[in-house]
């Protein structure tokens, strides 16, 4: 599984979105925090 696939799978699991385009404004901060945590964990 590649990184993009893992990220989108986790976005779907946590936030119920199948695409970054369907992230609602109220979730934006939480999604950014998740992505930042993920980025620091893999670097």
1-43 pLDDT, tens digit each = 688 899 999 999 999 998 889 999 999 999 999 999 999 998 8
Would you state the pLDDT for residue 1? Answer: 66
- Provide the strand spans (E) within 1-43: none
The token pair that represents 18 in the structure block: 């199948």
Alpha-carbon distance 43 to 21, whole Å?
26
Would you state the pLDDT for residue 20? Answer: 86
Contact (Cβ atoms closer than 8 angstroms) between residue 37 and residue 11: no
């Amino acid at each position: 599984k590649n990184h993009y696939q893992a990220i989108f799978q986790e976005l779907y699991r946590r936030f119920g979105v199948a695409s970054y385009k369907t992230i609602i404004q109220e979730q934006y901060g939480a999604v950014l925090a998740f992505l930042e945590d993920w980025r620091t964990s893999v670097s």
